[in-house]
Amino acid sequence: MPAKEEFVVTPYQVKGKIDYARLRELFGTEEITPALLTELRRLAGGELHPLLARGVYYSHRDVAALLRQYEGGHPFFLYSGRGPSGPLHTSHLLQFEFCQWLQAKFHAPMYIQITDDEKFWVRAGLTRAETERYGLENLVDILAVGFDPKRTHVFFDTRSIAALYPIAVDVAKRVNYSTVKAVFGFTPSTNIGLLFYTALQTAPCFYPSWAGGAPVPCLIPCGIDQDPHFRVTRDIAETLGYPKPALLHSQMMPGLLGERVMSTTGDVADNALFLDDPPKEVDRKLRKAFTGGRATVEEQRRLGATPEICSVYAMWRTRFAETDEKFAQIDRDCRSGALLCGDCKGELIGRVQGFLEQHRAKREKVREYATSLIVERPPPGAKAPEPRGG
């Protein structure tokens, strides 16, 4: 991204106030139009996931073509992942909840990559034992959103390397140093693990085609900050004989303290709600969360609040307003001043506490089979298509 932009978005750095429309232009992606939403709704059996309906997923690459192929009898698979640098918070789950919805509506196999190697390379303070432990715990949380275990497969990088490596080797030969340097902003002090990592992140995009011996389209729902990884993937896909993956890009969730992204990097644990936070902690964190409210009750009643900058509103928008009518009511009452921030938070707190309690119960059920979904070896006879150009 040009240095003159006031915000920076790469897979390793997100800085400044993001202008999402401008970011889409800079990345050269397509807007999710009302016509595309209509197609998604129709093919999903008449429903639209709230993250689509409310514009959290707002950008894409080649999804219209993917849907046409799907309708023509070519099913796709889903791919998403997690870099295990710590416990998951509520925002991390959104992407997986969305994938689970897509899996159910489109009967799609799901591939989840746990990138314990990448997080070890990226975070100076993390040991391999920690990234492995977080990876296993994160996996249990991810599966607890309700993926169908019969159609869900996991790549846990340090355990799945035998399955991923043959594809990564083919990819690595076609991606040169100047490309990764330009795309990811690597410097002379970047370790060589990260230079290679984009090959490993690419491998699951091609795995079902490789393992099954026939091209299978891939759909990747991800934060728009991850788009650069998959630009590299898309650039080399066809030269290796694989379909270019399609992407659905989401905006990023603001943190509770008004940080632009719900991140816990550094000593800011109050910026996010962790899946293990007990009810009292949820109450404490949400009571101090940053809002778009006015300085006084009188002013808010008179002028209304500003939901666009409010972390509480973002939570209603993404998960906790269960219907579009409820979300429209929050939006309307917030802007008009009919709703005060204390009351708004009070209602949300109860919902978040209930959500976390249910999530923890589901987690214990998937724990017993989670590691059995890890793919350790490719199927016998898996063979890459003939690459174009040797």
What is the smallest separation between the CB atom of 312 and ligand SF4, expressed in angstroms?
A: 4
Out of 228, 245, 307, 378, the only residue in the binding site for ligand SF4 (CB under 6 A) is: 307
Neighbours of 152 (CB within 10 A): 19
Contact positions with ligand SF4 (CB under 6 A) in 148-177: none
CB contact at 8 A, 272 and 265: no
Return the HEC string of 43-61. HCCCCCCHHHHCCCEEEEE
Q: Does 334 bind ligand SF4 (CB under 6 A)?
A: yes
Stretch that binds ligand SF4, among 187-195, 336-344, 355-363, 372-380 (CB under 6 A): 336-344
Q: Which is nearer to ligand SF4, 57 or 320 (CB)?
A: 320
Question: Cβ of residue 300: shortest distance to ligand SF4, in angstroms?
Answer: 8
CA dist 236 and 223 (Å) reads 21
Pick from 282, 344, 349, 373 the residue near ligand SF4 by CB under 6 A: 344
229 or 317: CB nearest ligand SF4: 317
- Would you count residue 341 as binding ligand SF4 (CB under 6 A)? yes
CA distances from 230 to 132, 144, 203, 247, 374 (A): 25, 27, 11, 8, 23
Pairing relationship of beta strands 152-156 and 110-114 according to DSSP bridges: parallel
Phi/psi at 249 (5° precision): -110, 135
- Report in angstroms how near the CB of residue 207 gets to ligand SF4 at its nearest: 42
Closest CB to ligand SF4 among residues 131, 291: 291
Please, which residue, 81 or 255, has the CB nearer to ligand SF4? 255
Q: Which of 238, 244, 247, 255 is nearest to 219 (CA)?
A: 247
Q: Does 305 bind ligand SF4 (CB under 6 A)?
A: yes
Q: Report the amino acid identity of residue 225.
A: D
Interface with ligand SF4 in residues 260-299 (CB under 6 A) = 291-293
Helix (H) or strand (E) holding 181: helix 177-184
Size of the site for ligand SF4 (CB under 6 A): 13
Cβ atoms of residues 251 and 318 within 8 Å: no
Write down the least CB distance from residue 320 to ligand SF4, Å.
11
Binding residue for ligand SF4 (CB under 6 A) from 78, 232, 286, 312? 312
- Parallel/antiparallel/unpaired status of strands 77-82 and 110-114: parallel
Q: Which is nearer to ligand SF4, 342 or 354 (CB)?
A: 342
Q: How far is the CB of 298 from ligand SF4 (least distance, A)?
A: 15
What separation in angstroms does the CA of 216 have from each of 13, 23, 199, 209, 248?
Answer: 32, 29, 19, 5, 17
List residues binding ligand SF4 (CB under 6 A).
Answer: 291-293, 305, 307, 310, 312-313, 334, 339, 341, 344-345
